[in-house]
Amino acid sequence: MRKYILLILPLFTLMIACNPTEETTDQTTNPLVMDWDTPFGTPPFDLIKQEHFIPAFQEAFAAQKAEVDAIINQPDAPTFANTVEALEYSGGLVRKVSNVFFAMTGAMTNDALQEIDKQVSPMLSAHRDDINLNPALFQRVKVVYDQKDQLGLNTEQAQLLKKHYDKFVRGGANLSGADQEAFRKINEELAILSVQFGENVLKETNKFEIVLSTEEELAGLPESVLAMGAEDAKAKGYEGKWVYTIQRPSMYPFLTYSSRRDLREKLYKGYIMKGDNNDELDNKKILSRIASLRVQRANLLGYPTHAHYVLEENMAKTPDRVFELLNKLWTPALNVAKGERADMQKMIDAEGGNFKLESWDWWYYAEQVKKAKYDLNEDELRPYFQVESVIKGVFDLSSDLFGITFEERTDIPKYHPDVKTFEVKDLEGNHVAILYTDYFPRDSKQGGAWMDVFVKQMKQNGEFIHPVIYNVGNFAKPTGDKPALLSLDDVNTLFHEFGHALHGMLSDCTYPSLSGTSTPTDFVEFPSQVMENWCMHPDVLKKYAFHYETGEAIPDALIQKIRNASKFNQGFATVEYLAASYLDMYWHTLTQPEEKDAAAFEKEKLDELGLIPEIVSRYRSTYFNHIFSGGYSAGYYSYIWSEVLDADAFRAFEEAGNVYDQTLARKYKQYILASGGTDDSMELYKKFRGKEPSIEPLLEKRGLN
């Protein structure tokens, strides 16, 4: 589900008036704590200063402690309402402050904010432990849980009760005093190490660049890639030169088009060696310690491995079921990848190249083979995918499927000038949600793309709380007089993250713990990935893919080329993804809390797997933010698990003969987007589809059958 230079930051980060560790902020005027007098209760970014965060967190923790004390100390016997619901709605201020803070550490970070993060993360961990390890609170929840079959709870209430009871048990409530103390220390250390790991990846990404100054060094690069390199050089103070970095919008086009093999190697090695350079930013010992601590914590709770602990709450349930799925895909994908490798080696040999294909050659020769086989040039597609047109395309698709509209607002405070804000309404003009989009890279932003919330949808005291959602990406910026033009991969990514946004915006749940994207990890990627099926469908493409200069709709012949090439290079794409998924599982099925030699362990496991040397795991351990700094530990497999669902789900629309089929769209909206985690995920899927998913549509989609 990520960069480092001295920045001049707008709005939010300009307003740092004191040392972030000093608690001098007057809490009566702290905008994070006050009611937000803004349109639709959006964060007042024009007022928030970094010095506000630590005092706001401290007040939020104190407020929730008082709320929890009130639950414990009330004289009435425990009930679902006075204990479970009361606990669910407690901590509103913690959610409010956390949502803003972690949005900024992802999209607008700097040295000061990172220092605050190092203080806040262990504070937050300790606060959660204070709640999860509170015996009196757990006892009240347990009384309600033991009576669950006599309470007449609806499905959503039953899910909430189970979620809170399990949170206590999984949070150490049944541990002895000594084990609880050990549990606390593990959580505190993990919080600190996770922040440090992500910070190191960010700094590594920001510091690496290649600066080019001669025509010879630029060989093979098309105009759009040259313009991007010149813009980046200018921004970094290298006027008249070209700069390429290991941020993906810069790296992938360079690897695809540069005919300078030595420079491709230099750039790609800069990328795959992040966190593995035996310097102050090295992540090997950090990640090994994280893995070891996770084993210790799992063992304390009675689980053989961290993966068993995590997967218990997912659709997969056990590591064996994850490996079963990965193994079904690995052999056919590897065989296809070996065929792709052979095609590229043939081309190298035919050109008289006296070398063996290497990992840094793959993008370049894949592009050459694609041109030869399908007459498809990635660069000829970009003019049809201006970022504004793609955004309009996903907006129009959402309107056609789900009956919502998008109106840009200029009266809502933003945290950066690149951000745009939209009010989402239904067809009757009723307010649905607020959406922020933030799509261009900068040094203050983590890499990748993601969705999250400032305000979660919920219902409280008879009021429907409308969600405030944001999408973040790192797509190529406009250059000179050219607008931002996206690659096919960028288009898929934008639609993907918008699927997450729809999941948050169209939520219709009572409790925040179950609303929106609060589902099992291996289900949450389904609503995002299914959108990728729509974005490249001819009926949808014709509605948004227009040439930015001529206004001409994308020609049928070009659409057919895209479809013809849709399974091209899927061996590579599947293998590099599966390798990372296996790597995640290998780290998290360790049974002993020993600190491994990270490089040796990674090599040993991937060699055993049979990964060919021409393909590097999509993420090597040392920069695998998803699992060591994000929320996907023992969960990176979720993308392919969810892809089984999305391929099967889209097959329903294809079988209906209309990708805009309203009956299916209504069922999808009701049972998937609106329902969040209010029921078992497979039950929700079956209510939409009428059956359990089949793996065949995925195998066909990737050309692995």
Q: Would you please indicate which residues are annotated as catalytic (active-site) residues?
A: 497
Question: Pairing state of beta strands 242-245 and 209-212?
Answer: antiparallel
Handedness of CA 596, 328, 695, 574 (dihedral sign): positive
* Residue 636 to residue 584: CA distance in whole angstroms: 7
* Residue 299 to residue 115: CA distance in whole angstroms: 32
CA 2 to chain centre: 10
* Residue 503 to residue 517: CA distance in whole angstroms: 6
Within 10 Å of residue 388's Cβ, how many Cβ atoms? 12
512 to 153, 515, 600: CA distances (angstroms)? 17, 5, 43
Q: Within 76-173, where are the H helices? A: 86-89, 92-107, 111-132, 135-146, 155-170
Which one-letter amino acid corresponds to residue 469? I
* Residue 199 to residue 283: CA distance in whole angstroms: 10
Count CA atoms closer than 13 A to 202's CA, side-chain side. 24
* Residue 403 to residue 464: CA distance in whole angstroms: 19
Q: Residue 643: which of 692, 689, 697, 680 has the closest Cα?
A: 697
Residues belonging to the chain = 705
Which one-letter amino acid corresponds to residue 144? V
- How many helices (H) and strands (E) are present in the chain, helices listed first? 28, 9
316 to 185, 398, 502, 518, 527: CA distances (angstroms)? 29, 30, 24, 16, 17
* Residue 448 to residue 493: CA distance in whole angstroms: 9
